C-alpha cells in the first residue's frame, strides 16, 4: 500500500511531489540514483515478470504480471512466493 503523497508512474515506479526535502523511500522501494523524488520497487531480476495494463471501468491500471504462474503478483509475493525462489530456498535447507 502506498502513502497518499506518492503517485504511481509505472507498476514498479512511484514519484513524490517535488517540494521540500525528498521523502524517505517507502518500504520495498529505493530512490533513483539521479532523482531522489522517484522510487523504484526492489525486485530481483526476472525474465518471467512483466508490466501489463488492466482495463477498468474508470481507468487503466499498471500491474506486475508473473509469466511463470500466469497471474498478477504483488512485490511481496513475487519475491517470497515465486516458485523459482521457493525451489532455491528449499534446496538451501537440505
pLDDT digits (tens, 9 = 90+) for 9-60: 887 889 999 989 999 998 889 999 999 999 998 888 889 988 888 888 988 8
Angle (CA) 44 83 94, round 5°: 100
State how far the Cα of 27 lies from the Cα of 71, in Å rounded to an integer: 23
- Whole-angstrom Cα Rg for the chain: 15
What pLDDT does 51 receive? Answer: 85
Most confident segment among 3-7, 15-19, 86-90: 15-19
The DSSP symbol for 26 reads: P
State how far the Cα of 18 lies from the Cα of 26, in Å rounded to an integer: 16
What pLDDT does 62 receive? Answer: 80
Q: What are the sequence ranges of the domains in the chain?
A: 7-41, 49-84
Regarding pTM above 0.85, the answer is: no
Tens-digit pLDDT profile for residues 59-73: 888 888 999 889 898
Q: Which of 8, 93, 89, 17 is nearest to 51 (CA)?
A: 8
Amino acid at each position: 500500500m502506498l502513502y497518499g503523497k506518492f503517485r504511481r508512474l509505472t507498476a514498479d515506479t512511484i514519484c513524490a511531489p517535488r517540494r521540500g526535502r525528498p521523502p524517505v523511500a517507502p518500504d520495498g522501494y529505493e530512490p533513483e540514483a539521479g532523482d531522489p523524488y522517484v522510487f523504484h520497487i526492489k525486485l530481483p531480476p526476472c525474465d518471467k515478470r512483466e508490466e501489463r495494463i488492466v482495463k477498468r471501468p474508470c481507468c487503466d491500471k499498471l500491474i506486475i504480471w508473473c509469466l511463470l504462474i500466469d497471474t498478477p503478483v504483488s512485490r511481496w509475493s513475487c519475491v517470497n512466493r515465486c516458485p523459482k525462489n521457493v525451489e532455491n530456498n528449499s534446496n538451501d535447507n537440505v
